[in-house]
Structure 1
Amino acid sequence: MQELFKRYTFDNTCMLLLGHDLATLCIGLPDFKQEKAFTEMEEAVMNRHIIPEICWKFQKWLQIGHEKKLREAKQVVDQFLTDCISLKCQKLKVKNEEEEDLDLLTNYMKIMAEKSSDSEEISEKILKDELLNLAFAGKNAWKFSSTEELKKMVYLHGTICESLRLYPPVALQHKAPVKPDILPTGQPINANTKTVLSFYSMGISSKK
């Protein structure tokens, strides 16, 4: 179920942002390197929040572990966004008001075309950064239509809630006390000590 939701949100995000449907939910659920690259980037960023900074920087220097996967995934995502932007440029050259796209990339590019830029390369880089941020935000946000029929689907509601409990969109959150404090477990904690709350672990913990 989680895999289906993940693919569903990824397809919707690509359609809303780029106007491009990868159709990852096609029969057989084949692997798509673009979707896999986004997942690996998320895992690498999460890993940076868990291990000491000196460790992941050392991995980055040696190009091993998550840092190596991050570099390779960034190349795949960058090429994917470049291809989408290139295709959109070609499509915008053929003006057809009756078939106007409503995706965010189209609107961004129209605004950029109206404004003079110092460099086309710089403009494309800014555009990629914006799309990448929105893609990660959209990829982790599950949204369903609210209709009278859906309200009556109690089993569907329960399935979605259980999936969100086991696989929360936001898996980690940082907290740091402004002054010394004591955790509910009785463990003392100093001021400004970074604490990571794992909602994923809370959801699957067997302790009641």
Structure 2
Amino acid sequence: MIDILLNLQLLAPFFLFLILPVFFFFCFTSSGPTKGTIPIPKPYPIIGHYFALKSVGNRRIQWLSDIVKISPAGTFTLHRPLGRRGVITGNPATVEYILKTRFSNYQKGRTTTSILSDFLGTGIFNADGNTWKFQRQVASHEFNTKSLRKFVEHVVDAELSNRLVPILTSAAAAQDKTLDFQDILQRFAFDNICKIAFGFDPEYLTLSAERSKFAQAFEEATEISSKRFREPLPLVWKIKRLLNIGSERRLRRAVKEVHEFARNIVREKKKELKEKQSLESVDMLSRFLSSGHSDEDFVTDIVISFILAGKDTTSAALTWFFWLLSKNPRIEKEVLKEIMEKSEAPVYDEVKDMVYTHAALCESMRLYPPVPLDTKETVDDDVLPDGTVVKKGMMVTYHVYAMGRMESIWGEDWSEFKPERWLEKVESGKWKFVGRNSFTYPVFQAGPRICLGKEMAFMQMQRLVAGILRRFTVVPAVAEGVEPHYFAFLTSQMEGGFPVKIIKRETST
């Protein structure tokens, strides 16, 4: 096998010699139709759109968004090397078609599950068919009204009061101290999902600046697994995995660390269930282990999937929310006004009735979605509503980031951070929240796979926003005019973290 790899390396210059003349020839030909100054890229023989993608570096999400926005019917066919093609769309009708109307024909598929299998195994976010249905059915019990109230009043509020507020109070007292707020929010969300879903407290949100081995391994596993999607030839990462070299060797080490952490949670829960005939409260992990599916590897995969969902999505949404709030004082003032008006209400009722804050969070995720795009694989040949022909095995991606920035959906003022687009005034003069069709705003997916934890995520975010802003002002510690870079692996992040200073609010109660 090593000889094969060496031969491939020796042949690389030869293939490059053949491809480069083609590339340079087409570089001086028309780039295709344009709208304004943005060209729709032209695919070339053998290489497809490879060089166009390569040239945009880590702006791939933004570049594809720009292309989708100017493509006819909001759908673009991406040509990969050696004739492979994929469809990328921002068309709500097409999104509804693949997520609902023809749901059975657009699955995770072999390509995605293969790429993510080392990391996520057969967890709910990397499964199709009966495996997915079973996990969803068991997990759904965790999202009823009783569970939501318990989550907000006991889990979120305890983490906020006992851990987050002391950290922010300490940072405010040391006036020159800078915190990475993105990291703080990830730690907060990680503790929350472990407590509510597994009945386990990792105590990750502490005054210590040290990141645990698990957190580092989880981040590395997420990054390397995601980068497999970007390989122009999948054979490359597969050979590296077979030989256990380079990034694949690092992935194997990271996955081992992540799996050991998750497996220990499963074993402790098994031990707890065995020793106690009845538990004071039943968490999601207990339900899985009591359902007859107690295979350790399978349940470990489930744990890892829910950590990914709970740790990285809400923290990503809140990171961008606090950034946008700092740039829009008027909106921050409105959010704060709502928080102060509800300060005497019980915790659950306070969160449930935060209409303006809810709208502001929706608006923030429109511009900076936690998951910028999602891909399905076509089971059989088909024709999309916009007339695009798709063949069996092709990847069809709906571009959530692009859809949040399309004038055809949001109007000429799409670039404005404007919570009022989600609100209308009622007779009493108060705001009423007006939701959007989930196929127009697929931030939480849509159709049969719509996010089970959507309401829980909003509850957590609204409680956190209220708990922070009532006491503190969050001020970005960046130079004037500097805009953070949005990028994503499996979920979005603010590149380089979100450095902030915390200022104690004088009107705090």
Q: Tell me if 1:133 matches 2:305.
A: yes
Does residue 371 of structure 2 align to residue 170 of structure 1? yes
What per-residue deviation string (whole Å, max 9, x for no partner) do you get for residues 103-147 of structure 1? 2111122223xxxx8xx7xx1122222222333233333189834
Counterparts of 2:291 and 2:390, CA distance in 1: 47
Q: Distance in 2 between matches of 1:47 and 1:199?
A: 19
Matches within 5 A, 1:52-201: 52-95=233-276, 97=278, 99-112=279-292, 123-142=295-314, 146-148=351-353, 150-151=354-355, 157=360, 165=367, 168-174=369-375
Task: List per-residue Cα deviations over 1:52-72 (Å, max 9, x = no partner).
Answer: 312212322332333222211
1:35 maps to 215
Instruction: Report if the CA contact (8 A) 2:266-2:299 is conserved.
Output: no
- Residue pair 1:172, 1:200 contacting (<8 A) in 2 also: yes
Deviation for aligned residue 1:20: 1.3
CA distance in 2, matches of 1:164, 1:66: 33
For 2:215 and 2:367, the matched residues in 1 are separated by 22
Aligned equivalents of 2:260, 2:267: Cα separation in 1? 10
C-alpha distance after superposition, 1:70-102 (max 9, x if no partner): 2111111221122112211222233264x5233
Alignment of 1:39-54 (within 5 A): 39-51=219-231, 52-54=233-235
Say which structure is richer in strand. 2
Number of the residue aligned with 1:182: none
- Say if 1:43 and 1:66, in contact at 8 Å, map to a contact too: no
Q: Which structure has the bigger radius of gyration? A: 2
Distance 1:89 1:129 in 2: 15
Alpha-carbon distance in structure 1 between the residues aligned to 2:376 and 2:298: 31
- For residues 390 and 216 of structure 2, what CA distance do their matches in structure 1 show? 39
The one-letter code sitting in structure 2 at the alignment partner of 1:138 is: G
Q: 1:54–1:105: structure 2 CA closer, same or farther, 3 Å change rule?
A: same
Conservation of the 8 A alpha-carbon contact between 1:11 and 1:21: yes
In the alignment of these two chains, the number of paired residues is 185
Take 1:151 and 1:55, find their aligned partners in 2: how far apart are those partners?
50
Work out the CA distance in 2 between the residues paired with 1:93 and 1:173: 40
Question: What is the distance in 2 between the residues matched to 1:16 and 1:72?
Answer: 28
2-structure distance, mates of 1:162, 1:30: 29
Equivalent residue, structure 2, for 1:184: none
How far, CA to CA, are the matches of 1:16 and 1:109 in structure 2? 16
Instruction: State the distance in 2 between where 1:2 and 1:81 align.
Output: 23
**Distance in 2 (alpha carbons) for counterparts of 1:63 and 1:200:** 35
Q: Which has the higher helix share?
A: 1
SS of 1:42's partner is helix
Residue 11 of structure 1 corresponds to which residue in structure 2?
A: 191
Code of the residue aligned with 2:370 in structure 1: it is P
Structure 1 residues 152 and 134, CA, compared in 2 at 3 Å: closer, same or farther?
closer
- On the 8 A contact 2:374/2:399 being kept in 1, the answer is yes
Instruction: Give the whole-Å Cα distance in 2 for the aligned partners of 1:191 and 1:89.
Output: 46
Residues in 1 aligned to 2:366 and 2:212: alpha-carbon distance in whole angstroms:
23
**Contact residue 2 and residue 163 of structure 1 kept, 8 A:** no
